[in-house]
Amino acid sequence: MLQRLLMRLFVVAAAIVSVGGYLWMTFAPPSGLQATRDGVPYLTPPVIHPVSGEAIPLDKLVRHYRGEK
């Protein structure tokens, strides 16, 4: 009987923490999850250029495909 009560309490606590964390990240995201005006997150690692193999910033790739120089 006690084990069943403790398990239900654990499940309720886990659900509250999960939903609370989701809501927190939705309405007050940390600065690292915010994005530029192009939709690129601030803490994005560089991507590999397919031809030369060099690492380029993702912002530069987005600007290239949007047609900006």
Q: Where are the domains of the chain?
A: 1-33, 35-69
Under the banding of pLDDT at 50, 70 and 90, the label for residue 7 is very high
- Whether residue 44 is predicted with pLDDT greater than 90 in this model: the reply is no
- Separation in Å, CA 7 to CA 16, 26, 30: 14, 29, 32
Give the pLDDT score at 38.
83
- Mean pLDDT computed over 5-17: 98
Segments in 1-69 forming alpha helices (H): 2-27, 58-66
- Whether residue 69 is predicted with pLDDT greater than 90 in this model: the reply is no
Average pLDDT of the chain to the nearest whole number: 89
- Whether residue 66 is predicted with pLDDT greater than 70 in this model: the reply is yes
pTM: 0.52
